[in-house]
């Protein structure tokens, strides 16, 4: 009887041990799956760059989808700590020349990118075509990589921004609007050298002043470690970003 009792206890302990091991594995697996929900290495941009102006387009309906984008719970902007510190250096430099930064978007959860993709695949939805992509089809929007299955924004060290003139309080004229899908949004649209290009003949709606304004922003961003994108004058990614392979999915809301 004692042997049987001991055997039952041993079997019970083994079973409990197995359950605990299984729970531990499940917890470890859960943690691995949830790393995209970890915002611990992110900061509110305005905590680091208090002079930054926020105009978070994807929290509003004023964007190429025409609706608030999935994952944007508050009109705020987040970045990894290292990217925000670099952006502070950009801001400090530009403030000395009379400019403030205006942020359109920064960290973007994967669920928002998925929302963009659903929009791109729905050819019947042309609500905003006249305002953001009048000369392109949805297929061309995707082929031109204006919309993609993955975005550097989801890695947390990419920002979309422009300049505001501190004297007038108005946006600096970049010769084009944020999220305009077309060659006019290429940073070097119009030629590249405003001193030799005949803007009046080649691109009458784009002037040397527009090109100069884009280069003010671009030069400051490059000097402080950000890399540009070939087809969007407003888009910059931090070189040596801390999470090059992680696409985060926690929502955009103020970190507390």
Query: Which residues are tagged catalytic?
Result: 232
Helices and strands counted in the chain (H then E): 8, 7
- Cα–Cα dist 247/155, whole Å: 5
Closest CA to 233 of 154, 160, 141, 164: 160
DSSP character for 190? T
- Cα–Cα dist 100/88, whole Å: 11
Closest CA to 108 of 59, 66, 65: 59
The pair of three-digit structure tokens given for residue 103, joined into one six-digit string: 């942020």
- Cα–Cα dist 175/181, whole Å: 13
Q: In what order do the strands lie in the sheet with 232-238?
A: 53-54, 99-105, 158-165, 232-238, 226-229
CA 23 from centre of chain: 36
208-223 and 81-95 helices cross at what angle (nearest 10)?
Answer: 130
């Amino acid at each position: 009887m004692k042997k049987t009792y001991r055997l039952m206890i041993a079997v019970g302990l083994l079973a409990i041990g197995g359950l605990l091991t299984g729970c531990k594995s499940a917890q470890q697996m859960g943690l691995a799956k949830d790393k995209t929900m970890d915002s611990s290495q992110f900061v509110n941009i305005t905590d680091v760059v208090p002079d930054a102006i926020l105009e978070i387009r994807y929290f509003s309906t004023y964007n190429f989808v025409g609706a608030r984008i999935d994952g944007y719970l508050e009109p705020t902007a987040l970045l990894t700590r290292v990217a925000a510190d670099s952006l502070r250096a950009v801001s400090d430099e530009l403030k000395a020349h009379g400019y403030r930064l205006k942020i359109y978007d920064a960290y973007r959860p994967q669920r928002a990118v998925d929302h963009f993709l659903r929009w791109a695949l729905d050819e019947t939805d042309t609500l905003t075509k006249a305002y953001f992509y009048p000369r392109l089809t949805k297929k061309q929007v995707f082929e031109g990589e204006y919309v993609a299955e993955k975005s550097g924004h989801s890695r947390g060290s990419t920002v979309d921004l422009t300049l505001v003139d501190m004297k007038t309080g108005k946006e600096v004229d970049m010769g084009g609007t944020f999220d305009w899908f077309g060659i006019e949004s290429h940073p070097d649209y119009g030629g590249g050298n405003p001193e030799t290009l005949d803007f009046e003949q080649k691109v009458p709606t784009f002037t040397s002043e527009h090109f100069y304004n884009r280069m003010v922003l671009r030069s400051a961003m490059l000097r402080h470690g950000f890399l540009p994108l070939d087809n969007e004058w407003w888009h910059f990614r931090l070189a040596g970003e801390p999470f090059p392979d992680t696409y985060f999915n926690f929502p955009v809301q103020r970190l507390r």
